[in-house]
């Protein structure tokens, strides 16, 4: 049903203060237990200049990510010509976070 769909998934936090982890990519396989996504992991950060929340990639290249359904807090299918697609393109143009910018101890890395 979701195979070949572009998606944005917000993962459940492991701790209350953990950063918000987001997966953007294309579903390549769907089972009763998980989604297999070809895409990137993002982290929500706050721009210090504007105070606006943005999504910055953690990975430089796409990879295969197995996402169990119980770890998904929110998900959306990204359709062509929608505001979600515009935001998806903007997020993909962002420069990846450096190792020091990633909150590894609180995230899912």
Q: Examine residue 100 and state whether it is found in any structural domain, yes or no.
A: no
Q: Which residue has the tokens 């929608």?
A: 82
When pLDDT is cut at 50, 70 and 90, the band that residue 109 belongs to is very low
Q: Examine residue 49 and state whether it is found in any structural domain, yes or no.
A: yes
Q: Examine residue 16 and state whether it is found in any structural domain, yes or no.
A: yes
Distance CA 71, CA 68 (A): 6
Task: Give the domain CATH number at 74.
Answer: 2.30.30
Domain that holds residue 56: 6-93
To the nearest whole percent, how much of the chain has pLDDT over 90? 68
Helix (H) or strand (E) holding 87: helix 83-93
Q: How many domains does the chain have?
A: 1
Region 13-34 average pLDDT: 92
Q: Examine residue 98 and state whether it is found in any structural domain, yes or no.
A: no
Q: Examine residue 12 and state whether it is found in any structural domain, yes or no.
A: yes
Here the tokens at position 88 are 């998806």
Q: Examine residue 20 and state whether it is found in any structural domain, yes or no.
A: yes
pTM: 0.86
The C-alpha angle with vertex 58 and arms to 52 and 61, in degrees rounded to 5, equals: 125
Distance CA 55, CA 9 (A): 12
Give residue 33's pLDDT: 96
Give residue 101's pLDDT: 81
Q: Examine residue 102 and state whether it is found in any structural domain, yes or no.
A: no
What confidence tens digit (pLDDT) does each residue in 39-89 have?
999 999 887 788 888 899 998 899 999 999 999 999 999 999 999 999 999
């Amino acid at each position: 049903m979701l195979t070949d769909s572009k998606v944005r998934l917000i993962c459940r936090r492991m701790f209350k203060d953990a950063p918000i982890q987001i997966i953007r990519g294309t579903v390549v396989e769907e089972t009763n237990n998980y989604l297999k996504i070809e895409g990137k992991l993002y982290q929500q950060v706050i721009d210090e200049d504007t105070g606006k929340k943005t999504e910055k990639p953690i990975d430089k290249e796409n990879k295969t990510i197995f996402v169990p359904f119980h770890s998904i807090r929110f998900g959306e299918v990204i359709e062509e010509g929608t505001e979600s697609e515009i935001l998806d393109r903007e997020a993909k143009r962002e420069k990846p976070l450096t190792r020091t910018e990633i909150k590894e101890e609180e995230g899912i890395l």
